[in-house]
Amino acid sequence: MASFPADKDLLTASLPPSETYRAAEHFRDRDHEFDAVKFGVWLFLATEVLLFSGLFVFYAVMRMLYPEAFIHGSSLLDWRWGLLNTVVLLYSSYTVADSVRCAQSNDQRGLQRNLIITFICGLLFLFIKFVFEYYPKYMEGKLPGMWYTYPNAESNYEPLWWGLYWGATGIHASHVIIGLGLFIWLFIRSRRGHFGPRHYNAVEGVGLYWHIVDIVWIFLFPLLYLIH
């Protein structure tokens, strides 16, 4: 039986946006667009690696020049909070990876559930960082440079250590905040049916970004919290 155009339009209108998605005009098809988008995300992540690599090089040079300041400064950090935040981010890496799998298998509830859990993990990370780490250090005068007023310093270069601590963890925290905004964006779009087996570019791109955020923290945790 021949199908009428009206019936075809009605069927198309009943499909979720992920099923009717068409690649932008400058791409051959959706596969071409997916590969290009993923390559662009990796290029962006390469610039992120360069940013944090500069911090790590600065850390290595300063620790070699002023080991006493770094050892004493690290001893004033509570490694238990750092370890808890590490566990939180590692779990969020699993949930964001599972959200990509759910999008690929068209598990919409699983996708939305994993996005919510990852968002909560990011919020928990920031809560621990600001309430149990940043605020006490601020009150005790463990601040960078000219704002350093902590009275029990063992080295004149401890303000340098605290400058590195606040700078590295602050830049990382800003990336976590950006990630939270992206997860809100993904969740809203997932509620509208924008992601599925035929289209999940944004979910995978944000997932890759979040993995880089987690990997950077895995390096920061031992370098800052465990050197003493």
What would the pLDDT profile of 52-62 be if each residue is shown by its tens digit?
A: 999 999 999 99
Indicate the domain borders of the chain.
28-225
Q: What is the pLDDT of residue 10?
A: 44
Nearest to 56 by CA among 200, 228, 224, 227: 224
Q: In the chain, at which residue ranges do the beta strands (DSSP E only) sit?
A: none
pLDDT at residue 35, rounded to an integer: 81
Average pLDDT of the chain is 91
**pLDDT, position 1:** 45
Q: What does the pLDDT read at residue 145?
A: 86
What pLDDT, on the 0 to 100 scale, is given for residue 214? 97
Give the confidence band of 26 by pLDDT, cuts at 50, 70, 90. confident
Cα–Cα distance measured from residue 112 to residue 133, given in angstroms and rounded to the nearest whole number: 31
How large is the average pLDDT for residues 127-151?
A: 95
Residue 11 has pLDDT above 70, yes or no: no
pLDDT in tens, 169-181: 999 999 999 999 9
132 versus 19: the higher-pLDDT residue is 132
Closest CA to 73 of 200, 171, 158: 158
**Alpha-carbon torsion angle 221, 50, 214, 98, nearest 10:** -160
The per-residue pLDDT for 165 is 97
- Could you give the 3-state DSSP secondary structure of residue 144? coil
Q: What is the mean pLDDT of residues 102-110?
A: 96
Catalogue the long-range contacts made by 83-89 (C-beta closer than 8 Å, 24 or more residues apart): 83/221, 83/225, 84/128, 85/125, 85/128, 85/129, 85/217, 85/221, 86/217, 86/218, 86/221, 88/121, 88/124, 88/125, 88/128, 89/121, 89/125, 89/213, 89/214, 89/217, 89/218
Average pLDDT over residues 132-148: 94
Tell me what pLDDT residue 87 has. 98
Q: Alpha-carbon distance 99 to 94, whole Å?
A: 9
pLDDT of residue 2: 45
Which residue blocks in 128-225 are alpha helix, DSSP H? 135-140, 158-191, 201-225
Q: For 111-120, what is the mean pLDDT? A: 98
Label residue 40 by pLDDT band (50, 70, 90): very high
* Residue 171 token pair: 């830049």
pLDDT for position 17: 75
Answer whether CATH 1.10.10.10 is correct for domain 28-225. no
Q: How confident is the model at residue 158 (pLDDT cuts 50, 70, 90)?
A: very high
Contact 103, 115 (CB under 8 A): no
CA terminus-to-terminus distance, the chain: 78
Nearest to 176 by CA among 225, 133, 214, 128: 214
